[in-house]
Amino acid sequence: MEISSCFCVTAAAVSVFTMLWKVREASGAGYQTAAFGTLIGALGASLYFLVSPVFCGLALLSCSFILICVTERRRKLLPVKSRAVLVTGCDSGFGHVLAKRLSEMGVMVFAGVLDVNGAGAQQLREPGSENLQVLQLDVTDSTQIETAHRYICAQVADTGLWGLVNNAGVLHCPMDAEIHPITGYIRCLDVNFLAPVKMCQVFLPLLRRSRGRIVNVSSMAGQVPIPMFAAYGASKAALSVFSQVMRLELSVWGVKVALIQPAGFRTNIFGNSDDVARYRDEILAGVSSEAREDYGEAYISSLPDSLSKMSQRSLEDLSPVVDDICHALLSVHPKPVYTPGHMGWLLPFVHRCCPAAVFDAFIVSLAEHTDLEPAGLSRS
């Protein structure tokens, strides 16, 4: 083999290694990095046949260098001194861990909780959390939002609010879209979409003052259609589009908007045994007689049990999501979209790139939540 050909092969190997390395560490933009790596490969193959192997090798090494520079540039963090962040949904889950993490880093944290006297709020008040203030904040209550706004205005004075993290969210119960009660759709839209919109509208004057950040916690279900997640996915899809529009509109003000789209993580969003019983009663009370006959009461009653199964299959370590939110808040160059978790970038990539029939078969095989099937299917 000629020396020039060996150089090209070596450069290709370096490019592939660089792409795989960056895909592994860039959980928030894995599909973008993979797409860039595919572009490098296609470019290399084209150049090899169109121009000299030496030029091909130089082009591949240049692309690898650009990929490394771009990703390393995004690692730089801002100083945390005099920065204040409001986080919603801090009773448990992502918000609870994030509030503690930011406080430990030296950020002034306003932790909004649904129950200011609850166990989660009490834990946030433990010694060592001097930078953390717990606020009563039901994000669906306009009065509580305005009260929190007045308090935070008095605290941050002329410096403004650096960050708003719209983390509070509800899942309700995964079930077929046809039999999902309208009240469930309304609840998901209220908490997952309309509440963040209201929060942004109220707190944007403070964010503009500091040229700060908005971080909206959406979900992979807001980008990828997943069976049984019509209500939740639709509300998160609305939040995703809203966030992208806000990112464009607020850029002229110097305010950056980032979207977090986690895969499955184990939080209290899956509810408890009382929630399961309440969902079962709510579904059976609201389903039409025709749907009850077609789906069968046994199938309908089994749907809320899927919550515990989903929780067990989800990742217990919440740090990938919290890491990405911190990066979105404090990085000099935050990403527009973060996709932490297993399948976080893979499923969106498959959804975008594969034929619909291939994706449909793939997602249906992954999304089986119950061992039963609707009664009408067994009769047909």
Per-residue model confidence as pLDDT tens for the chain (380 residues): 566 666 555 755 665 566 555 555 554 444 455 555 555 555 555 555 555 565 555 665 566 556 555 555 456 889 988 899 999 999 999 999 999 999 999 999 999 999 999 999 999 998 877 899 999 999 999 999 999 999 999 999 889 999 999 999 998 888 899 999 999 999 999 999 999 999 999 999 999 999 999 999 999 999 999 898 999 999 999 999 999 999 999 999 999 999 999 988 888 776 676 777 888 888 888 889 999 999 998 888 888 877 777 777 777 889 999 999 999 999 999 999 999 987 777 888 888 888 999 889 888 887 766 667 787 777 65
Asked whether residue 161 falls in the same domain as residue 276, the answer is: yes
Are residues 173 and 118 located together in one domain of the fold? yes
Residues 241 and 165 in one domain: yes
Domain-ending residue, one of 20, 48, 73? 73
Whether the CB-CB separation of 262 and 217 falls below 8 Å is answered with: yes
- Rounded Cα distance, 270 and 302, in Å: 15
Same domain, yes or no: 257 and 165:
yes
> Using N-to-C axis directions, what is the helix angle for 346-353 and 356-366, rounded to 10°?
150
- pLDDT tens digits for 215-233? 999 999 999 998 989 999 9
Dihedral sign of CA atoms 84, 87, 92, 97 in order: negative
Domain of 103, CATH number, reads 3.40.50.720
Of 12, 47, 73, the residue that ends a domain is 73
Rg of the Cα trace of the chain? 24
Determine, yes or no, domain membership for 380.
no
Residues 165 and 294 in one domain: yes
d(CA 223, CA 213): 22
Helix segments in the chain, DSSP class H: 3-25, 30-50, 53-73, 93-105, 119-124, 142-156, 182-189, 195-210, 230-250, 273-286, 289-295, 297-302, 306-313, 319-330, 346-353, 356-366, 375-379
259 and 298 inside one domain: yes
Whether residues 100 and 68 share a domain: the answer is no
Q: 357 and 133 in contact (C-beta within 8 Å)? A: no
Are 63 and 145 found together in one domain? no
Residue at 372 is within a domain: no
Q: How many independent structural domains does the chain possess? A: 2
Of 73, 98, 131, the one marking the end of a domain is 73
- Could you tell me if residue 182 is inside a domain? yes
Give the Cα separation of 186 and 189 in Å (integer).
5
Tokens of 118: 């609850």
Residues 48 and 7: beta-carbon distance below 8 Å: no
User: Which tens digit of pLDDT belongs to each residue from 226-253?
Assistant: 898 999 999 999 999 999 999 999 999 9
Q: Which residues are annotated as catalytic?
A: 232
Residue 377 lies in a domain: no
CA distance 214 to 212: 7
- Residue 23 near residue 33 (C-beta atoms within 8 A): yes
Q: Check whether residue 155 and residue 182 sit in a common domain.
A: yes
The whole domain housing 280 covers 84-366
The answer to whether position 334 is within a domain reads: yes
